[in-house]
Each structure stands twice: as C-alpha cells, then as structure tokens.
Amino acid sequence: MSALPEDFLQFMRDVYGTEAANAWLQRLPSFLEECAERWQLTILPPFENLSLHYVAPAVRADGTPVILKTCEFSDEFEHGLAALRLFNGRGIARLLEYDEEQKVMLLERLQPGTMLESLVPEQDERATSILAGIMRQLWRPAPTEHTFPTVEQLGQGLTQLRAHYAGGYGPFPPRLVDEAMDLFAILSASVPQTMLLHGDLHHHNVLRSGDTWLAIDPKGVVGDPGYEVGASFYNPMPRLLEVPNLEQMLARRVAQLSEELGMERARIRGWGLAQCVRNAWSMVANNQLSKDPHGIILRCADILSHLTV
C-alpha cells in the first residue's frame, strides 16, 4: 500500500481523535487486500486531496477502471451510499459494488475526469449551465422514510456558532450570521416540494465523462432544491481569487440559475448567502481554515447580501 498523504492523516486524527484514527489506519492495508481479492482489483495509489474518506483509483481484472472509497467513521458514507442507489447513475457516476456493513464501495471511474473548475473563470456561464443541468437530472422526491440529514438540521448548525462564541459572533459579521439563520428558517418553511439532493454539488464534484459531465461524491440531503445551488457560490476555490469582478460573476450566476432552474432570484440569492455563512462556520468548527485563508467565502456572502434581485 502506498504512503498516505500527511494532510489526510492529520485531518483524520483531528476529526476522529488520534487513537481511533490510528487504529483504523493500521487496519486499512489488510482491509484493502481483502477488497482487492473480493472484487478482483489492482488498487493504485490514493488520490492526494483526501478528506473524510480513503479514495483510490483501481482496475478490475477485466481492465475496467473503477474508484474504491471507504471510511468506517463518517455517517456521510451511509448517506452517500443511499443517495447513489437512489440516483442510480442518472447525472452521477454509477455505483458498481458496495458493502454497507464494511463501509466500502466501488464506483464508475469517470474519464478523462477533468474537473468542472477547469472552465472557471473563462467559461463560467457554461460551467453554471452544466451544474444546473446536473441538478435537474439528480433531484427526485424524497423517500417517505429515510435517514438523510435535512436542510433544516444543517441550518441549525449555525446555532452552534453562537454557542461557540458564548452568545457572540467571534470573527463573523453579526449581520451575515443573523441573515443566514433567518434564511434557513424562512426558505425551509416555504419549500414547494421536499427533494433528495446531492448536498454538496460544486465545481470539484463534477467531472467530465466522455462528452458529458457527471457528479461524484453525493452527501445525500433532503429539503428545498434551492439549497443545492448554495455550494456553487463559493466555488471553485481557490480560483475565485482570480476573478477580476466577483460581484458581477455572482450576480450573473444568480440570474442564470434562476432562469435555468425556474426559481425566484431571491430564493437563489438567499440559499447562496446562507450556505456561504454555514460553510465558513463549518471550516472553523472542523479546523479547516487553511482551505480558505483569504476569507473568500465570507466575501461571497457579503456580496450576495448586498445584491439587489
């Protein structure tokens, strides 16, 4: 087994605790050998930008390129697997094999696999249209019974921000936090139809597959489909730093997504702002500030808060 990226090792220890993470990492080589034997795989070195899961390319005995993904800790695996089964390859990479108990799956490997971020900023309008098209393919009515996290539950995470700062706001602008909390409540209460969503659809989670583009790595979230647009407003990082007129780009994204998804501009803008603030707080809560050292996410939130729609 190839050496794991040091950033991944430290991230796992920070999130799950040193003892638990080290124990899992020690078991990982033998577990991968079992997977290789079970599914007739040659497992290649893992990807470098790992976070909550071990993800590596592999090749099946018949030459089929695949992706192996595993992690025994995160609930995200369970929810992501359930979402992949329901999406069933429509607008997203296909699920080929899985073992829910062992928390491991094999996925279609998209080729050439170019990330959608490669189109930004020069072809941002095209990239936004691709995102909207994938959203329309993915969304479906939420199952009557499910264990997916809901948009309302995710929004409640902002109350932890206030608790973390003893009722204050810390480095966060109070105006943006209050508006984001209000938006989560208001938009969730007025949802026209609750849908199963990808939950983290942005420019790094859409890859080129032949002559089309497909999503990867769904979180599996249930709620207002408008929530899905949020992640696209603070991505792709760090390429947004290269945009000469970010205000103009975000305003055009609001207008374009409203047109292509048939949603009110105010709803698109609102979910964009709410998700920017929530994601910025999530980075603080999970010790991931290094992902946004320039504070671009809160800058996007501020731009959206002043946008007239």
pLDDT at 2: 67
Is the domain covering 6-109 a CATH 3.40.50.2300 domain?
A: no
**CATH class of the 114-306 domain in this structure:** alpha beta
Domain ranges of the chain: 6-109, 114-306
From 240, 248, 237, select the one nearest 121 (Cα to Cα). Answer: 240
Q: At what angle do helices 265-285 and 246-261 cross, to 10 degrees?
A: 120
Nearest-10 Cα torsion for 199, 201, 207, 213: 100
Instruction: Return the CA Rg of the chain.
Output: 19
Do the domains at 6-109 and 114-306 have one common CATH topology?
A: no
Q: CA-to-CA distance for 229 and 276, rounded, in angstroms?
A: 11
Q: Give the contacts of 153 (CB within 8 A, at least 6 positions apart).
A: none
CB 215 within 8 A of CB 90: no
Neighbours of 109 (CB within 10 A): 19
Dihedral of CA 38/5/21/159: which sign?
Answer: negative
pLDDT at 95: 98
For residues 125, 127, 129, 131, the Cα torsion angle rounded to the nearest 10 degrees is: -150
Which two tokens mark 187? Answer: 């938009």
**Two tokens, residue 249:** 């780009």
**How far is 191 from 270, CA to CA, in rounded Å?**
13
pLDDT by residue (tens digit) across 202-233? 999 999 999 999 999 999 999 999 999 999 99
> Tens digit of pLDDT per residue, the chain (309 long)?
667 888 888 888 888 889 999 999 999 999 999 999 999 999 999 998 888 899 999 999 999 999 999 988 877 899 999 999 999 999 999 999 999 999 999 999 999 999 999 999 999 999 999 999 999 999 999 999 999 999 999 999 899 999 999 999 999 999 999 999 999 999 999 988 899 999 999 999 999 999 999 999 999 999 999 999 999 999 999 899 889 899 999 999 999 999 999 999 999 999 999 999 999 999 888 777 777 878 999 999 999 999 998
The reported pLDDT for the residue numbered 6 is 85
